Amino acid sequence: MRIALAQLQPVVGDISGNLQQILDAATQARVAGADVLVTPELALSGQAQDLLLRPDFLSACGKAIGRLIDEVDDITLVVGHPRKVGDEVFNCASIIRDGNVLGRYEKLVLAGGGPVDELRYFSPGMQPLVFEQNGVQLGLAISHDLDETDPVAAACDEGAQLLLVLSATPFHSGAAAQRQKLLCQRLEENDLAAVYVNAVGSADALLFEGQSGALSPQGETLLQLPAFKPALAYIDWVDGHLQPVHCSPPLETAALLWQALMLALRDAAGTRGVVVPSCDGLNDVLLLALAADALGEHRVYVADSAAAQDQLWLCDLDKSALARPLSPDRRGGDFAPWRDVTASHLQQLAQWRAVQGGDLGAMLVDVLATTPSTAADDQLLERYLRDRLGHAELIAAGHSPADIERVLSNYQRSARDRRVSAPGPRVSDSAEGIDVRWPLAQRFIHG
């Protein structure tokens, strides 16, 4: 049995475009001799947020599924999509072949809060689904089903020999390692191999890095797809085992973050060019490098050029700057790539980019030499927000009372500035407005 992994890049709300991606992948996979094609979670709709509350949107998704039923032949398609049943909506995976729906699996474990609030939109499913293909029993899971032991165990109780996992897990630094660790744990518990397919692309601030692949029951990586690029790959099941395939080499942390930020900028810009406000400091020079790498130098403009007015204006503010009060003229711009990157992490990113060379690499070397460190303040704020440490714990971690008072007071005073500043991509697990939801009007600083 040959399984095709369709690492697709769904666009939120572009149902016809997403449908065409799936049809094209099915055609290519069928020509390559695949028996099964697996898409990411919600491949038909993308992470559509409140569009999922609209009956007309859900109806359009249902019609697109009808087209897949009519048009996909000679291959079994496992496709992720939203599905309305009565008054409920489910995060669903449908198994389609030759004009028939062989089964529908509804996600059992829904994410509440965090970057994706599924409980706002979906009802949980109630039972596992296992289907037969080429004499092999295939079980299904959808992303957060792996958070608990029961869904995978239930699939095994139904006879699953191989697990197919559909995913659209938001990116942050370290997310892929966390996801693989959790999947390995479930596979080891159940002596089961898995094929997992993760989405690529962006949905507002959320990014999806792909890195789909396959794992043995012992956690050995048998297939690894690239990060932040659509891809179609294949793996064979022979004599009860997945056969190892050449894997894309993993990217180092800085390179992965750079790829994430380039994808975010490309999606934000669309067909437009971008405007970099100036080239005065590290943030601006690195912004120039990011824009040139992502779009090409011919689509990067300076603020005073005649063509700049119709382009996407970039904001150079980073996470550290947004933790301090800003003057009104500093809040502008259409898109802030560094919004969720601290100044100290930005310096590390600049050091990596400088090594890559070119004229901008040389400029980064020069500007890094005169850029002060903000590591202590950044670490203090991360411990306060992400780790939720109190005053005594921050002191025990080595921060002085004066620094604690200054940093936290600045953070509270700048809350309104962060609300009105330019949007940007989430690349950490402590992103303002997504992971951290800080009230504008409040008086508590620390206990």
Token look-up 């390692």 returns 177
Residue 230 and residue 161 share a domain: yes
Output the six-digit token pair for 16.
Answer: 């016809």
Domain of 214, CATH number, reads 3.60.110.10
372 in a domain, yes or no?
yes
Residue 353 belongs to a domain: yes
Q: Is residue 110 part of a domain?
A: yes
For residues 413 and 377, membership in a common domain is answered with yes
Judgement on whether residues 269 and 214 belong to the same structural domain of the protein: no
Last residue of a domain, one of 208, 228, 250: 250
260 within 8 A of 228, measured Cβ to Cβ: yes
Which of 211, 234, 250 represents a domain boundary (last residue)? 250
pLDDT of residue 221: 95
pTM: 0.92
The answer to the question of residue 431 being in a domain is no
CB atoms within 10 A of CB 134: 11
* Contact present, 106 and 120 (Cβ < 8 Å): no
Q: Which value, to the nearest 10 degrees, does the dihedral of the CA atoms of residues 128, 132, 136, 137 take?
A: 10
State the pLDDT at residue 436.
86
**Residues 325, 355: contact at Cβ < 8 Å?**
no
Domain tally, the chain = 2
Report the candidate in 238, 243, 233, 186 with the shortest Cα–Cα distance to residue 213.
Answer: 233
Confidence (pLDDT) at 112: 85
The answer to whether 201 and 7 are in contact (CB under 8 A) is: no
**Facing residues of 85 across strands?**
88
Residues 24 and 116 reside in one and the same domain: yes
Single out the residue of 51, 26, 38 nearest to residue 80, CA to CA: 38
Looking at the fold, whether 124 and 85 belong to one and the same domain comes out as yes
Answer yes or no: is 185 within a domain. Answer: yes
Host domain of residue 213: 2-250
Q: Show the tokens assigned to 388.
A: 């939720």
Regions of the chain short of the pLDDT cut 70? 305-307, 329, 331, 446-447
Listed residue (19, 212, 199) closest to 116, CA to CA: 199
What confidence score (pLDDT) does residue 309 get? 73
User: What does the pLDDT read at residue 4?
Assistant: 99
Residues 179 and 285 placed together within one structural domain of the fold: no
Is residue 163 domain-shared with residue 266, that is, in the same domain?
Answer: no
> Is 303 a domain residue?
yes
Residue 53 belongs to some domain of the structure: yes
pLDDT of residue 446: 67
CATH code of 389's domain = 3.40.50.620
Query: Of the candidates 215, 250, 285, which is a domain's last residue?
Result: 250
Distances (CA, A) of 154 to 167, 188, 195, 277: 19, 15, 17, 55
Please check whether residue 444 lies inside any domain of the structure.
Answer: no
**8 and 147 housed in the same domain:** yes
Do residue 80 and residue 221 come from a single domain?
A: yes
182 lies in the same domain as 298: no
Whether residue 130 is found in the same domain as residue 148: yes
Q: Are residues 311 and 240 located together in one domain of the fold?
A: no
